[in-house]
Amino acid sequence: MESFVRRHPVWAAIIAAVLAVFLWLVFAPWSDGMEDLFGRKRIFLNAVFSGITLGALYFLVASGFTLIFGLMRNVNLAHGSLYLLGGYLGFEVAEATGWWLFSFLVVFIAIAALGIVLQWVVFRRMEGQDLRQTLVTIGLSVVLADLMLWIWGGGSYTILTPEWLSGPMELPIVTGFRSNGQAVFLKYPTVRIVILIAAIVLGLAMWLALNRTRIGMLIRAGVDDREMLAASGVRIQLVFAGVFAFGAGLAGVAGIVGGTFQSLFPGEDTRFLLASLVVVIVGGMGSIPGAALGAAIIGLAEQIGLVYAPTYSVVFTFLIMALVLAFRPQGLLGGGR
């Protein structure tokens, strides 16, 4: 952070200014003139919060994707299918047991096991052949998508929010004032706030695990030079399988989250694959903080775009990606590999 400010003072100042304006827009009450210009503050705030929670969901999906990519150079294009499969499984478990949290455990284990099988049976055989691995993941995504269509049909599923999480929650952010001068606070669904907090906690935990533990050290060493790591006696296949399992399990869990505050239907797999791709391209390939930053940017751009320019919102996402590719091809926080 400090070194960044020292090296790029202009950029740091611009980013700080944008952040300050953004925070001011969120926290300060808007004057009438601004409301004329930008519409109601409540709408803006809702877009911002939906953007951030969507970003949290994107982060859950993309962090596994970027972790797998960073370590194994495997562009897992079946990642979206794992997301959708996790969501469907979570729906079944939650329906059968009526226990929302339990479904997270089951789905994480099931999808992680699937990930281990894939890594052990398929990808281990073609290590170092990036293109072939990617082609295999494409084939897998086609097969999985059709199998899921076979089993769950084309209908849309929504996982019921458990009672203790349903209903709105009042946030300490002023949206406007009533005629008697009383402040109106923003109301927002509790479940989304909980998911946002959970994603932040998870992100911090992953960052800590990567940077402060032994296994994290192994993974970082593998990202930099896996041959050297293997040569120094680490059983790298175990590390690979573990990371693949964790990334896959995360995608499955994200499926439950997505199924709870959105819905699950065929086609969601490619949507989330696209989201992970864009997030990872914008944030930087193989970087967890990059995935967090990219997810927040893309989530915000998508939701704010949807509110203020409904038929062009995808263009914003695309423009951000194109700009990043044009000026910083390795991604915002990507290393110079």
Partner 1 sequence: MALAADGLQVAPTRVERIPAAYWVVGALLLIMPLLANDFVLFQVFGWTFIMGLIALSLMFLAGYGGMVSLIQMTVAGVAGYMTAILGSSGVEQISLGLPWYVYIPAAIAIATLFGTLVGALAVRTEGIYTIMITLAIGSAFYYFAKQNYGIFNGYTGFNLVVPPDLFGVDWRQPIAFYYLTLGCAVLGYLAVLYVARAPFGLALQGVRDNPRRMAALGFNVTAHRILAYSLASVLAAVGGILLVWQNAQISPGTVGIPVVIDVLVIAVVGGLRHPIGPFIGALIYVLLRTFTPDVLAAFGQSGERYKLLIGLGFLLVVFFSPDGVLGLWERWRARRRRDPLKGAAQ
Q: What is the token pair recorded at 68?
A: 């797998």
Dihedral over alpha carbons 222, 85, 258, 300 (to 10 degrees):
50
Instruction: Name the segment binding partner 1 (CB under 8 A); options: 108-116, 126-134, 178-186, 216-224.
Output: 126-134
Q: Tell me the closest approach of the beta carbon of residue 150 to partner 1, in angstroms.
A: 7
Q: How many CB atoms lie within 10 A of CB 174?
A: 17
Q: Do 191 and 260 contact (CB within 8 A), yes or no?
A: yes
Nearest to 222 by CA among 236, 211, 233, 208: 236
Quick one: 128 or 168, whose CB is closer to partner 1?
128
The piece of 41-49, 112-120, 131-139, 203-211 that touches partner 1 (CB under 8 A) is 131-139
Nearer to partner 1, 62 or 199 (CB): 62
Burial 262-282 (b: 16+ CB within 10 A, else e): bebbbebbeebbebbbbbbbb
Closest CA to 288 of 280, 300, 276, 296: 280
Say if residues 107 and 90 touch (Cβ distance below 8 Å): yes
- Between 135 and 201, name the residue whose CB sits nearer to partner 1: 135
Question: 31 is written with which tokens?
Answer: 């004057």
Regarding 151 and contact with partner 1 (CB under 8 A), the answer is no
Give the x-and-dash track for 310-329 against partner 1 (CB under 8 A).
xxxxxx-xx--xx--xx--x
Binder of partner 1 out of 13, 142, 151, 197 (CB under 8 A):
142
CB 134 to partner 1: min, Å: 6
Binders of partner 1 among residues 272 to 291 (CB under 8 A) are: 273-274, 277-278, 280-281, 285
Site for partner 1 in 188-217 (CB under 8 A): none
Residues that bind partner 1 (CB under 8 A): 73, 75, 77, 130-132, 134-136, 138-143, 145-147, 149-150, 270, 273-274, 277-278, 280-281, 285, 310-315, 317-318, 321-322, 325-326, 329
